Amino acid sequence: MIPAAFDYERADSVEAAVQLLSQHGDEAKLLAGGHSLLPLMKLRLARPSVLVDIDRIDGLSSVRDTGDALEIGALARIGDLAEDATLKEHCGILAYACGQVGDPQVRHRATLGGSVSHGDPASDPPSVLLALDATFVARGPGGERTVAASDFFTGLFETALAPDEMLTAVRVPKLGAGSGWSYQKFHRRQIDWALVGVAAVVQRDDGHIGSARIGLTNMGLTPLRAPGVEQALAGADASDAAALASAAEHAPEGTSPPSDTNGSAEYRRELSKVLVRRAVQEALAS
């Protein structure tokens, strides 16, 4: 399978990339690691007439400590993030989830920016970033702006990025001493995408749950939060297993999971409850 013909441009700076996007309009697509875009182009499900290769732009692949937060460059490789010492120390859930993406070859190419910008509800990093209340930094012809994770994922393969904008960084908070986390990815084989994934970030407060943020992978058209679970958990006794299990029953509320050969929507709804319970328990124990 060979992609349809396209013109290839290489941007050596964010400014150049944005300029090329503005110039070519809807016809152009950014190319980072290519591990979402090239498979689609080979199947001719995507046919951009211009590819703007951003993969060689310098300075966008590190994890920077900015005090209370970490700023991750959009071109950071998923595989490098899985092993990154700073990320592991301060935001372990994202490093762990990156290690769950695809296989080593995929992780060697895939970038965090591409994973986020693709807007695939079955991808692992986006639901984790939702649960982290991450902030996305985008650059367009008019300059830089930030978008909250809760506003970023707008539809199936759609995000708040304009066609002439490039994502440059993702900011995640450092998880302090009182917080625990878990990412539960359920799949049949290690290489597979999540049937359902659940990210939990839980704030412990003297034997109680101060607050909990739950992100759901592959439970609808976008990565989702589970507000019903979060409300039920707030203030709950962390050692009350029955209370945690009953909070987890809220997991599928407001979701619209897909039905496919891996599982029906009904199956995914049930699975989400089980995985939320496991995620919260593991987060509290961590």
Partner 1 sequence: MRISLTVNGTAHQDDVEPRQLLVYYLRETLGLTGTNVGCDTSTCGACTVLVDGRSVKSCTMLAVQADGRDVATIEGMAKNGELHALQQAFHEHHGLQCGYCTPGMIMAADSLIREHPEGLDEQGVRMGLEGNLCRCTGYQNIVTAVLAAAEAMNGRAPAAAPAGGEA
| Residue 75 near partner 1 by CB under 8 A | no
Which positions from 30 to 59 touch partner 1 by CB under 8 A, shown as an x/- string?
Answer: -x--xx--xx--x--------x-x-x----
| Binding positions for partner 1, 109-148, rule CB under 8 A | 109
Residue 221's CB: how many other CB atoms inside 10 A? Answer: 17
CB of 38 to partner 1, least distance (A): 5
| Binding positions for partner 1, 89-108, rule CB under 8 A | 102-106, 108
CB of 12 to ligand FAD, least distance (A): 14
CB of 128 to ligand FAD, least distance (A): 10
> What is the size of the binding site for partner 1 (CB under 8 A)?
27
Residues found near ligand FAD in the complex (CB under 6 A): 29-37, 39, 74, 78, 101-102, 106, 109-111, 113-115, 117-118, 123-125, 161, 166-167, 193
Helices (H), the chain: 14-24, 37-42, 78-83, 85-90, 92-99, 104-109, 112-117, 124-131, 149-152, 227-233, 241-248, 265-285
What tokens appear for 201 in the block? 């970030």
CB of 247 to partner 1, least distance (A): 32
The number of CA neighbours under 13 Å toward the Cβ of 227 is: 3
| Binding positions for partner 1, 213-252, rule CB under 8 A | none
Distance between CA atoms of residues 215 and 158, nearest Å? 18
**Cα separation values, 132 from 17, 46, 69, 94, Å:** 28, 31, 11, 9
| Residue 193 near partner 1 by CB under 8 A | no
Residue 140's CB: how many other CB atoms inside 10 A? Answer: 16
Cβ–Cβ under 8 Å, residues 244 and 236:
yes
Interaction partner, residue 5 (partner 1, ligand FAD, none; CB < 5-8 Å by kind): partner 1
Distance between CA atoms of residues 86 and 91, nearest Å? 8
Applying CB under 8 A, which residues contact partner 1? Answer: 1-8, 31, 34-35, 38-39, 42, 51, 53, 55, 102-106, 108-109, 189-191
